[in-house]
Structure 1
Amino acid sequence: MFLDDVMQEYIYHCLAKGFTKKTMINKRQELKQLKSFLEEKRAITELENITIHDLKAYVRTKQSSGLKPQSIVSMFKMIKAFFSWCEKEEYIKENIAKKVETPKLPKKILKGFTIQEVDKMINSFTYKNYFEARNKAIIAMLSDCGLRAMEIRGLRTVNVKETTILVNGKGNKERYIFISPALKKILIKYERIKKEYFKGKTVSTDCYFLSYKGSELSHVGLDNVIKEAGRRAGIEDKRVSPHTFRHFFSVQCILNGIDIYTLSKLLGHSELQTTQTYLQSLEDLELINKAMASSPLMNLAK
């Protein structure tokens, strides 16, 4: 089969699976680069003619171009996904991309937020106007629910219930998240101020968090809210991002006794291995405290 035909079919498969616009752009770009390399450097135009040696050469080309190891690993995950799909569709006998080694990444400990820092960020915003109330609610929801940036931006008003939030995650997979009483208190105030602010104004979307124009909050807009929270709270030595809030949520869940399987569902992960990466970032002191609480001998002494 011609490589171009197979790649086009795979792109439509991914679109049908509901991948985000950003993911689709990355997939298209990476497959285009792979196709160009195979045609121009290896004289290959058909899927069946690709070998493990061709893919290894492709990785070496990326390395020699000065691309960072993390970028190469992320890039090759998309290549592996493509060949995995080809194997499932029986276009090839096996996923040869599995045999290709990518650069090893140093394990970095993510410096997460403390409870005190999160409290400072939430309380750095007030209820004096719509934007203050909205930003307070966003930071509180990120902290208490562990949502992705795309999930909080695309959250629909109709899906925010009395005690739960219906989240539309990656691949259009839905999951429910519990709303704690502490979060609900903030959301009630936000909803009241939001209703008053947009009275008589045109609102173009059902999104729960709105821009000043009444439209969906942009990626940059959300990032600005989060960065402002960190600035107001005086956080300088840590990355202030949706991912760090998601990490905070994960760590707090584990430390408070939630098992990894439940946490994986709460985070909307399709694979347990993805959730396990959050456990690797637990700081030594947190691990010691957790180990002490679960010590068999200590529990026998109670």
Structure 2
Amino acid sequence: MLLEDVLKEYMYYCKAKGFSHSTIKNKNQEYKQLFEYLKVNRGISELENVTTFDLKAYLRKKQKDGLQPQSIVSMFKMIRAFFSWCYKEEYLKENIAKKVELPKVPKKVLKGFTTGEVQAMIDAFSYKNYLEARNKAVIAMLSDCGLRAMEIRSLKTINVKETSLLINGKGNKERIVFISPVLKRILIRYERLKGQYFKDKLTTEHYFLSYTGKDITHVALDNIIKEAGRRAKITGKRVSPHTFRHFFSVQFMLNSGSKDIYTLSKLLGHSEITTTQRYLQSLEDFELIEKAMPSSPLMNMK
């Protein structure tokens, strides 16, 4: 069976599973690169002729091209998913990608935000106009709810309730995220200015809008976050939605009496608890000290 024919069926499978447009696009691009390599360098155009050795050769090529270990692992996860599906559909007698050993990814500790830095980024925006209030609300919601970039951009007004948000996450999986009183106060003022700014104007159904009334783009969201970092003079740290999710995770575990990783995993929308555990492995030294001090045996000896 031709690789292109199998890929076409697999792409429809991914769409039926509810994968996002960007995920499907990335998968499609990666598979086409692999198929081009197999055809040109290995003389292979049919699925049945692909072997583990061919996939290992493709991985080595990526390494020689200078692709970093983390990128190779991310790339090959997509390839492994494709061949795993082919095996389950009985197009292959074995999952040939399963035997390919991936490079080890060096563990990096993410330098997280402090509470002071997050407060400074929220305070960096005012309520003097709609865009300022919107940016303040965006930063506050990222900090207080730990949403993904895609989730905050696609948030619909109808899903913003009195004390909770209905989030449509990865794979169209819905979850409830709670709104704290502090965040609610910011959202109330944002909504008031939003209503005034867009009075008698056509807008989309999204909660956060561009100045023209359309949903904000990925680039626009990134610019809002980067501007918050510049105004608050954040240096030496990656100012991104991911870092805000990290901040939310760490603060939940530091401030939660139960230290319930299962609840945190649900709030973040993780399908596997191991993903949540990776977030918590990057606690900063000062946070570890703050967490450990009250439980010090000598400190508790009276």
Matched residue, 2:260: 259
Matched residue, 1:142: 142
Secondary structure at the counterpart of residue 288 of structure 2: helix
Q: Is 2:220 the partner of 1:221?
A: yes
Matched residue, 1:118: 118
Pair 218,292 (structure 1): closer, same or farther in 2 beyond 3 Å:
same
Secondary structure at the counterpart of residue 175 of structure 2: strand
Deviation at 1:91, TM superposition (A): 2.3
Q: Is 2:252 the partner of 1:246?
A: no
Deviation at 1:277, TM superposition (A): 1.2
Deviation at 1:17, TM superposition (A): 1.7
Matched residue, 2:45: 45
Deviation at 1:94, TM superposition (A): 3.2
Matched residue, 1:106: 106
Deviation at 1:299, TM superposition (A): 11
Moved runs in structure 1, 4+ residues, more than 6 A?
298-302
Q: Aligned pair count?
A: 300
Aligned 8 A contact 2:294 2:300 in 1: no
Aligned 8 A contact 2:293 2:299 in 1: no
Secondary structure at the counterpart of residue 92 of structure 1: coil
Deviation at 1:269, TM superposition (A): 1.0
Deviation at 1:79, TM superposition (A): 0.6
Cα deviation 1:20-73 (Å, max 9, x = unaligned): 222111100110011112222222222232221111101001111122222211
Distance 1:244 1:144 in 2: 12
Give unpaired runs (5+ residues) of structure 1: none
Distance 2:216 2:7 in 1: 33
The 5 A counterparts of 1:183-198 are 183-198=183-198
Matched residue, 1:270: 271
One-letter code aligned to 2:38 = L
Q: Is 2:204 the partner of 1:209?
A: no
Matched residue, 2:127: 127
Distance 1:232 1:255 in 2: 27
Distance 2:294 2:207 in 1: 39
Report the TM-score when normalising by structure 2. Answer: 0.94
Identity of aligned residues (%): 70
One-letter code aligned to 1:102 = L
One-letter code aligned to 1:6 = V
The 5 A counterparts of 1:10-29 are 10-29=10-29
The 5 A counterparts of 1:2-81 are 2-81=2-81
Cα deviation 1:234-272 (Å, max 9, x = unaligned): 112111111111110011111123422111111111111
Matched residue, 1:230: 229
One-letter code aligned to 1:243 = H
Report the TM-score when normalising by structure 1. Answer: 0.94
**Aligned-residue CA RMSD (Å):** 1.8
Secondary structure at the counterpart of residue 261 of structure 1: helix
Secondary structure at the counterpart of residue 108 of structure 2: coil
